[in-house]
Structure 1
Amino acid sequence: MPYRVPNAFLIALQRHPKPRPSEHPKMNTTHSPQIPLRAVFMRGGTSRALFFRAEDLPPAGPARDSMILSAMGSPDPNKRQLDGMGAGTSSTSKIAIIAKSNHEDADIDYTFGQVSVDAPVISYKGNCGNISSAVGPYAVEEGLVETSDDQATVRIHNTNTGKIIVARFALQNGLPKLDGDFALDGVAGTAAPIALSFLAPGGSSTGKTLPTGKAREVLETDGFGAIEVSLVDVSNPIACIHAQSLDLTGRESPAEITETPGLLDKIETIRIAAAVRMGICSLVEAQTTMRNLPQIAIVSAPTDQDSPATNIVLRMISTGQAHASSPITGGMCLAAIMKLPGSVAHELARANNDASQPLTIAHPSGTLALDADISGSTVDDFSVNAVTVFRTARRLMQGEVMVPRHRISDDAEG
């Protein structure tokens, strides 16, 4: 069956969902060397992703993954993804699969995939907070949700974690408003803000906010000895480490972290040990297919170099790469355990004079502010009710991504 692509922007503008066929008729035959696959390229926060409609893809499994890997240009041993839509970094090698939801508390089902740059692997374990911010605007532009004249509230069911995210943003002529004065560190210019509320995000991957029931513990690693960590799971699991434990100041740039001999190998060893300790996966899975979790949060105390509002300084490692800013999910974990006495983050964090003020995390590209609604102050009663963060998002491109037929399984065309 040939793939047909609607002009999604005009569909949203005109509310007339009539699909437009691929421009070249030969591309819609079973003999064409490539399959045109409807897709939208979105920026969400400080990340980018290819967005697909679930109806355009095969069911979950090897056939679907082979199409997505080819579309993104993975695996690429050169780590550049030049033959696809990825850009060789963890923050730009992501996909989202969207469908209308049958969940009673949601409008949209959203499945996130972290695509490995250099291996034929897509991890569906965990979520991406940045890409979550693009789901609401995408759903409105695709005509998947009903909206009022000037405001949208989209309830999103993240299938990876089973959690609900509520996105609220302004509309202009029925479409997501773009212009505004909200500045997002790591993204040039200003735009209209999107409020994202992650409801009851604790235990998204492991079933517990504190997977081991401890605020702090010593983790034994293979070849690098013992290291003190805090293990927490709020939307995504992280292992939080004092920068000094890695012989770092905590102010190194991503390039300096990458160029420090042996450092990323040591951090990867810690990640593997933490994945097993947290019950995320087996040792073999952590070494092969589960390469994105937990993220590693390297933290340090704020200094005079930081604004008075800064509570903690972060350098995040995600899928073996030093992050240029801060993943939202990593920030959510930090915002939570900064309020947990005994944790690594609580020990280093500067407390707010006004407890109602948001928590601010300094990262290489600026700062990230989050509102964390926390209950309890001990490991026995600690829980996260909700975390709210503001992002921006924009549709960058729409149309068809071309998937070479010889790279996908026969089942992908059924």
Structure 2
Amino acid sequence: MIVDRIRVMAFAPQIKIPATYIRGGTSKGVFFKRDELPEVCQQPGAARDAMLLRVIGSPDPYAKQIDGMGGATSSTSKTVILDKSSEPDHDVDYLFGQVAIDKAFVDWSGNCGNLTAAVGAFAISKGIVDADRVPENGICTVRIWQVNIQKTIIAHVPMCNGEVQEIGDFELDGVTFPAAEVEIEFMDPADGEGSMFPTGNLVDDLEVPGVGTLKATMINAGIPTIFVDADAIGYRGTELQDAINGDNAALEKFETLRTHGAIAMGLISDVSEAAARQHTPKIAFVAPASSYTSSSGKNVNAEDIDLCVRALSMGKLHHAMMGTAAVAIGTAAAIPGTLVNTAAGGGERQAVRFGHPSGTLRVGAEAKLEDGDWTATKAIMSRSARVLMEGWVRIPADTF
């Protein structure tokens, strides 16, 4: 009999870890409270990384993450750890881990702007935000300390009858169903301690072996991002995912651009280091406003947008736009002379609406020139968030 051939062996039972699966903006991730993690995983290190990799289902040579919570895209291979903030005048510490799909690697080098939309709601629901700061009805202002980039983010979370309001009529391109609007303010969004333009220039001549010399705007705002003109690399700026993600030669070219931009920005010192820094910097291309049909079949009209932007995340064209990259777009658009500002028509502006593969997004930003250096005071955008599942995730006992 077949049953007789099944070997019964003793294995330790799986570990149960409290977790919540949440959509934030156009991303999804597994959220944890730090003090609910296994003790050895409550601090940075190999054990924590191993736990998150196993939760998400990486590394997966099939690139499907079938045996984990990941969705096999950069937008859905994400983890968040929250804790009571240790920073004065802040409510919650927010740590983001981008989990590689086919590699045993968790990238802690940057923030996720989309999942930021869910941080405030999770912190309120889990009692991380002091009760006296949470209104019965109205808007709860949650002060977030973004641990990865050491920056303040303010989330305005709607409350109804003492609970976070998740359902509403706010529509976000890239998300199928409407939800409650969450306004997010990224304060002093320049990423890192140096200049917002690490090369000192609004536009550089970026020399890329095998590609040539391209004009590039390299900015640290929201997340380190490299912008190039679409037409300079053979695109129109209206492309959808299939046009690029199915083209291995194109993906290799973008990774080469990203790698040499990272060197120019001082983020790495050698091309060999790029593989261990996949989350940052981002690479994006811009073009003047043009009409196109989005991935959902919705028509995006040139007169309704200021420019077109396409961005890659973890080596693939993003299905919409990363929230942190949107901050970079908004900030660069506010500064006359950048490639983003030029594509948007030039001049001074405090907000920009751009077209992305799933539709459009508006982001506001304030920037000013002080002593010859550009600084950004804040960037603002609206997202939404919704809890999809809560309870426990399980991983094998020998994971760490």
TM-score by length of 1: 0.87
Equivalent of 2:80 in 87, 93, 96: 96
Query: What does 1:15-414 align with in structure 2 at a 5 Å threshold?
Result: 32-57=12-37, 58=41, 59-145=43-129, 146=131, 147-150=134-137, 151-202=139-190, 204-205=191-192, 207-283=194-270, 286-303=273-290, 306-350=301-345, 355=349, 358-376=351-369, 380-406=372-398, 408-409=399-400
Which residue number in structure 2 is paired with residue 5 of structure 1? none
2:345 is matched by which residue type in structure 1?
R
Q: Which whole-Å CA distance do the structure 1 matches of 2:59 and 2:371 have between them?
A: 41
Q: What displacement does 1:261 show? A: 4.7
| 1:288 match: secondary structure | helix
- CA displacement, residues 133-167 of structure 1 (integer Å, 9 cap, x when unaligned): 10000011112112011121110000001100000
1:88 is matched by which residue type in structure 2?
A
| Unaligned segments of structure 1, at least 5 residues | 1-29, 410-414
Q: Is the 8 A contact 2:259 2:271 kept in 1?
A: no
Q: Which whole-Å CA distance do the structure 1 matches of 2:181 and 2:62 have between them?
A: 36
Q: Is the 8 A contact 1:206 1:278 kept in 2?
A: no
Worse-superposed segment, 52-61 or 221-230: 221-230
Q: Is the 8 A contact 1:109 1:159 kept in 2?
A: yes
Which residue number in structure 2 is paired with residue 13 of structure 1? none
CA 1:316–1:379: 2 relative to 1, 3 Å:
farther
CA 1:261–1:122: 2 relative to 1, 3 Å:
closer
| Unaligned segments of structure 2, at least 5 residues | 1-9, 293-300
Worse-superposed segment, 142-151 or 92-101: 142-151
Q: What displacement does 1:206 show? A: 5.8
| 2:261 match: secondary structure | helix
| 1:190 match: secondary structure | coil
Q: Which whole-Å CA distance do the structure 1 matches of 2:229 and 2:16 have between them?
A: 48
Q: Is the 8 A contact 1:49 1:95 kept in 2?
A: yes
| 2:276 match: secondary structure | coil
Q: Is the 8 A contact 1:214 1:379 kept in 2?
A: no
Q: Is the 8 A contact 2:335 2:367 kept in 1?
A: no
Which residue number in structure 2 is paired with residue 20 of structure 1? none
| 1:161 match: secondary structure | coil
Q: Which whole-Å CA distance do the structure 2 matches of 1:189 and 1:287 have between them?
A: 36
Which residue number in structure 2 is paired with residue 16 of structure 1? none
Q: Is the 8 A contact 1:275 1:286 kept in 2?
A: no
- CA displacement, residues 23-70 of structure 1 (integer Å, 9 cap, x when unaligned): xxxxxxx97332111111010000001001111332100011001100
Q: Is the 8 A contact 1:178 1:394 kept in 2?
A: yes
Q: What displacement does 1:404 show? A: 1.4
Q: What displacement does 1:351 show? A: 5.5
Q: Is the 8 A contact 1:241 1:344 kept in 2?
A: yes
Q: Which whole-Å CA distance do the structure 2 matches of 1:72 and 1:216 have between them?
A: 39
Q: What displacement does 1:355 show? A: 4.7
Q: Is the 8 A contact 1:206 1:279 kept in 2?
A: no
1:372 is matched by which residue type in structure 2?
A
Q: Is the 8 A contact 2:136 2:163 kept in 1?
A: no
Q: Is the 8 A contact 2:334 2:365 kept in 1?
A: no
Q: Which whole-Å CA distance do the structure 2 matches of 1:363 and 1:103 have between them?
A: 36
TM-score by length of 2: 0.90
Q: What displacement does 1:345 show? A: 1.3
Q: Which whole-Å CA distance do the structure 2 matches of 1:102 and 1:388 have between them?
A: 25
Q: Is the 8 A contact 2:145 2:151 kept in 1?
A: yes
Q: What displacement does 1:84 show? A: 0.4
